[in-house]
A = this chain, B = another copy of it.
Amino acid sequence: MLTRDACTALDAQDPLADLRAQFDLPTGRIYLDGNSLGALPRSTAPRLQQVVTQDWGQGLIESWNTANWMTWPQGVGDKIARLIGAAPGEVVAADSTSVNLYKVLSAATRIQRLAQPAHHVLLSQRDNFPTDLYIAQSVCAAAGWRLELAEAAAIPARLAAGDVAVLMLTHVNYRTGALHDMAALTAQAHAAGALAVWDLAHSAGSVPVRLHAADADFAVGCGYKFLNGGPGAPAFVWVHPRHADAAQPLSGWIGHAQPFNFTTHYEAAAGIHHYLCGSPPILGLAALDCGVDSVLAAEPLGGMAALHAKAGQLGDLFMRLVDERCAGLGLDAASPRDAAQRGSQVSLAHAQAWPVMQALIAHGVIGDFRAGVDGDPDLLRFGFTPLYLRFVDVWDAVETLADILGSRSWDVPTFHARKAVT
């Protein structure tokens, strides 16, 4: 059996341990929800203070030029590109993941209407994150396409049927943390005449992503999870250069080739720039820039590969300790046992997942609850952000979990009561 001291020793040897000092973390809590909202980098508050009081307050309108605000979507995008296997100039930070997905799916329908006019199926995974499915439903309705949902294992066979126009997947599953093989699935999609659209919400800043190496077609992702950009941070969008001229329908003035010529007719800017729409959200971009920097700080220490490896070790430790200490207490692993098949999260099924999670939170272990739909189980979800989590945190979290389950202290009305959840 492992001991707490052994976990402390793992932290002492951890080459990534110093990255934790980048963050302001609440005392007395173990934060295992960085997959939902990343922690606050220490650089963010002073940066925002500077942007607000100096750039905006003193510079006012001139800061669009003097502080280069207009270039921030590309500037932050270039940093994100380093995390996802894209090239400089191919990514912009803008809008929300949902809005960006609407842009790329709409562009994909325009491409495929010409390239594969007989393909009318948008294929996705049954337990993909709901907003992806909702946006896909809207795009399919407009295009006269059909949205089909398959279990992960059935996707290759469904592709082979030959009528899929677009395969849209989230790289890391939001419920289970299961990681798709982006290169293999993209190749299968291409072989079937389909385009591959990837949502990197749970993989950007969490696992190595190699968009060009996988030959992906489009990607979107989220700024407020593993990129630590803050609540509701701007999202990002990437388009393979071979598709960069495909029109997308949110043709706002910031995506115009010459926005300040004020011409009446839209002329799309080159490359990824026409995926910009409205004026850049400067406060959100400043915070996102700090968050992305907190991930890029791992570059000299092995970058995303090192971060994912540590996340895997944290998750492996968690699963091992849960096996050892919570046996017979109603938990079932809902995530892959092989860390190479997982993002930076581990989920556990429990019939009383809601009150158990409320009890954990009350005891300072912050994970989250995800309701099961379509027969899937309710889940306890735990994110293992390697930038700021320690092995000893994992020990302490499992200790609390074992205590709560063993004592059934979750089974009181307070913890059963439902409230708004995120």
| A interface residues, Cβ below 8 angstroms from B | 24-26, 29, 31, 33, 36-37, 39-40, 44-45, 48-49, 52-53, 55-65, 69-70, 95-99, 102, 126, 129-131, 133-135, 137-139, 142, 149, 224, 230-235, 249-254, 256, 259-266, 277-285, 287, 361, 366, 368, 370-371, 373-374, 419-422
**Which residues of B have CB within 8 Å of A260?**
371, 420-422
Contact B249 A138 (CB under 8 A): yes
How long is the Cα–Cα vector from A117 to B290 in the complex, in angstroms? 51
Contact A262 B130 (CB under 8 A): yes
Given A65-B422, A142-B249, A264-B374, 8 other A-B contacts at CB below 8 A?
Answer: A31-B60, A95-B278, A98-B253, A99-B278, A102-B250, A235-B278, A260-B421, A283-B287
Contact B57 A24 (CB under 8 A): yes
Contact A278 B96 (CB under 8 A): yes
How long is the Cα–Cα vector from A55 to B135 in the complex, in angstroms? 30
- Closest CB in chain B relative to A251 CB, distance in Å: 5
**Which residues of B have CB within 8 Å of A36?**
61
Contact B33 A61 (CB under 8 A): yes
A251 in complex: contacting residue of B31, B45, B137, B373, CB < 8 Å? B137
- Closest CB in chain B relative to A282 CB, distance in Å: 4
How long is the Cα–Cα vector from A420 to B58 in the complex, in angstroms? 19
**Which residues of B have CB within 8 Å of A98?**
250, 252-254, 277-278
> Chain B: which residue is nearest A70 at the CB level?
B420
- Closest CB in chain B relative to A305 CB, distance in Å: 27
Contact B278 A97 (CB under 8 A): yes
**Which residues of B have CB within 8 Å of A149?**
264
How long is the Cα–Cα vector from A420 to B52 in the complex, in angstroms? 22
**Which residues of B have CB within 8 Å of A266?**
130, 133-134, 137-138
Contact A137 B265 (CB under 8 A): yes
How long is the Cα–Cα vector from A48 to B374 in the complex, in angstroms? 41
**Which residues of B have CB within 8 Å of A420?**
64-65, 70, 260
How long is the Cα–Cα vector from A291 to B188 in the complex, in angstroms? 51
Q: List 19 A-B contacts (CB under 8 A).
A: A61-B368, A62-B361, A63-B231, A64-B420, A64-B422, A70-B422, A95-B278, A98-B253, A98-B277, A99-B252, A129-B253, A130-B259, A134-B251, A137-B265, A137-B266, A232-B280, A232-B284, A261-B373, A281-B284
